[in-house]
Structure 1
């Protein structure tokens, strides 16, 4: 067995949320390791990073790398495409109404993780391995062993290893699971008409169909359908799928082309009963899984990462142990309301489309009508969307100066490689 590497924080899981957690902790002066496999270079998904997540990227000094491959999200259009008698008016959320150039940016997962991996190589200890195979709590933290026989000790372990988290199970944190009778079909495509940075979400009886602006005249698609219809769409050849999609969005963007390979994801959700226990805290999908509706999943994960870095650094500066029960409890409390509110909102929207109960449809339509009619209500909704009041974090706050550069206190992070 190799000698154990010692760290303040070990992040288990090397997806975007895990890498951001590691980079933010290292930038806060904590000796940090990120443990896990390299990202899938063939991942064709696109991440919609809202303004708070972009601020984290900027504070880490990575925005200049990511901005050239990112597409701004300047507007969000909601369209009632149900067959109900009362159909709500179209609602357009415009970032300029709250004095922002964009709500956020859309970036391919592969481009995002490439930039994060490159930064991790020089700013922290990046331990590449298939998995962590054993976890043992100790008086001073945790002892981890990788599939390659490498050993790590850490005062605090951040589990960022996905919805089936190995670390979460060993920590004994239970979860609540649920599922929906829906499947999301995901792809991207080109089109002749400009999208002008506006995302369009069609609210349909089987679920939302969302077109997200990409670089140039390209867009990404999240098409939520019944399992039977999703399976039919996946069996179609490219021409057949394009014809089916054009029936919904051709008036919006014109005939589509250059269809990327399609993927599908059954819609389900999961939340942990706690977001920390012992010397373990949960990051990203280890703590919460939400359907790909409303761009909530990864943005919640970035806020987890920001909260971890701020709370752990505050514990260190205040003379407390990073893995002390009060530090872990503070992290748990800090994430509960934010996660619960986002899970509730996504669940409410999705189930309101699936129900045939007239009262629910009328309430949803009335809410959209109120947003369409009131600039004040739209502004409140937009501000809450980009800067949740339940998660006030320094790392996600706007940067007054030096846009694209690391903010004071986060510039020139000290490498903490083993």
Structure 2
């Protein structure tokens, strides 16, 4: 039987980043993952998560295929009696030049793979894992080609329908929302100025996020029946509809490439670990694409696991290491999952006291700078709302003099 110190199952963004981080920490690591399907979505990577992949060399490998996020704007477009004021969260208020970056998932995946292929201690096998047995001394993973491999630790990063999680007997609670996410990229006639705008509508967020040049990505949360109708619109009509929903802030719009749609739902698990097993990414948690929290939460899983395993070099799958991982990640996962769920449901709610409370919260954010700055720091790094941003984040997103276009030069990618 073959043996590795660590086997990571699942080749999505969080899984590949975990395998890369563990290999860089010196562990003999196997990444077992078939080629992922084509993914036209984009992801915003912020704060601590960006610092993690930047230290691995992934941001540098992205090259020009990324756009900075300097401002995040929230606009109340609900059309209700109590309208919240527009709130702008500016990275400069926290002493940063940007909150992070946005890039196409395909480009992030390619950058991760390019770095992984040059990394010692990391073997990539494009084979799915189909079986798992766990005991006190080791875990054994069975691959689709019949190969059995023993390891000290197995990392399940194989998505919200994780076969490894099910084999370990970890249960997941799943729920759905009466919403569908339409995902596409588009070109526009006006510069986005590194500003992301999230319109809160009665059916959910309508969120534009900058891509390089005069391009942006769009996550459009809609009623499922309306989503089906929008997707079937002719390209010109769809582009005009998007521009109207953006209130023409980016001028004329042209939808770029294929359109995808995803039913929205969420999940959470009763525990993040089992004997010789740790869950990361969507194997551990999943929720709607609101507030750029999904991938960032998975990357924080990866960073925590790498750091804690590095403190247990002789046995990275020990009971002590896994208990520390469980304790380190539980609060962040619970709070982010609950926060996104509450925000999403509040947009669908016509309950008047709820509208007043939401509007009041947004007004306070806009008017009270310390409260706004607390929220920004907490969004970038859990726990940093009161303590301040750590050096690792400022290293990659520290403030610099303004560039010629008025947007501060970016600190990410610098050594």
Instruction: Name 1:73's counterpart in structure 2.
Output: 69
More divergent stretch after superposition (303-312 vs 25-34): 25-34
- Whether the 8 Å contact between 1:61 and 1:405 is mirrored in structure 2 is no
Instruction: Name 1:106's counterpart in structure 2.
Output: 102
Q: Structure 1-normalised TM-score?
A: 0.91
Instruction: Name 2:413's counterpart in structure 1.
Output: 404
What aligned pairs does 1:147-226 form with structure 2 within 5 A after superposition?
Answer: 147-226=144-223
Instruction: Name 1:350's counterpart in structure 2.
Output: 344
More divergent stretch after superposition (329-338 vs 236-245): 236-245
5+ residue gaps, structure 1: 407-418
- How many correspondences in the alignment? 399
Match of 1:339 among 333, 337, 343: 333
Separation of aligned partners in 2, 1:325 and 1:80: 47
> Which deviations, in whole Å up to 9, do the C-alpha atoms of 1:332-389 show, x marking residues without a partner?
1111100111111111111001011000011000000001111111110000011111
Shift of 1:150: 2.8
Instruction: Name 1:96's counterpart in structure 2.
Output: 92
Separation of aligned partners in 2, 1:165 and 1:23: 20
What aligned pairs does 1:19-418 form with structure 2 within 5 A after superposition?
Answer: 19-40=16-37, 42-123=38-119, 124-316=121-313, 321-389=315-383, 397-399=393-395, 404=413
Q: Structure 2-normalised TM-score?
A: 0.92
Shift of 1:331: 0.8
> Which deviations, in whole Å up to 9, do the C-alpha atoms of 1:69-104 show, x marking residues without a partner?
110000011001012111111100000000111001
- Whether the 8 Å contact between 2:61 and 2:114 is mirrored in structure 1 is no
- Whether the 8 Å contact between 1:13 and 1:162 is mirrored in structure 2 is yes
- Whether the 8 Å contact between 2:9 and 2:155 is mirrored in structure 1 is yes
Separation of aligned partners in 2, 1:259 and 1:61: 29
Shift of 1:139: 4.0
1:361–1:287: structure 2 CA closer, same or farther, 3 Å change rule?
Answer: same
- Whether the 8 Å contact between 1:22 and 1:34 is mirrored in structure 2 is yes
1:285–1:293: structure 2 CA closer, same or farther, 3 Å change rule?
Answer: same
- Whether the 8 Å contact between 1:303 and 1:396 is mirrored in structure 2 is no
Matched, 1:10 2:10: no
- Whether the 8 Å contact between 2:184 and 2:255 is mirrored in structure 1 is no
Separation of aligned partners in 2, 1:336 and 1:390: 17
1:351–1:403: structure 2 CA closer, same or farther, 3 Å change rule?
Answer: closer
Separation of aligned partners in 1, 2:392 and 2:136: 33
More divergent stretch after superposition (152-161 vs 248-257): 248-257
Task: Let me know the Cα RMSD of the aligned residues.
Answer: 2.1
5+ residue gaps, structure 2: 399-410
Separation of aligned partners in 2, 1:109 and 1:259: 15
1:362–1:142: structure 2 CA closer, same or farther, 3 Å change rule?
Answer: same
Shift of 1:54: 1.4
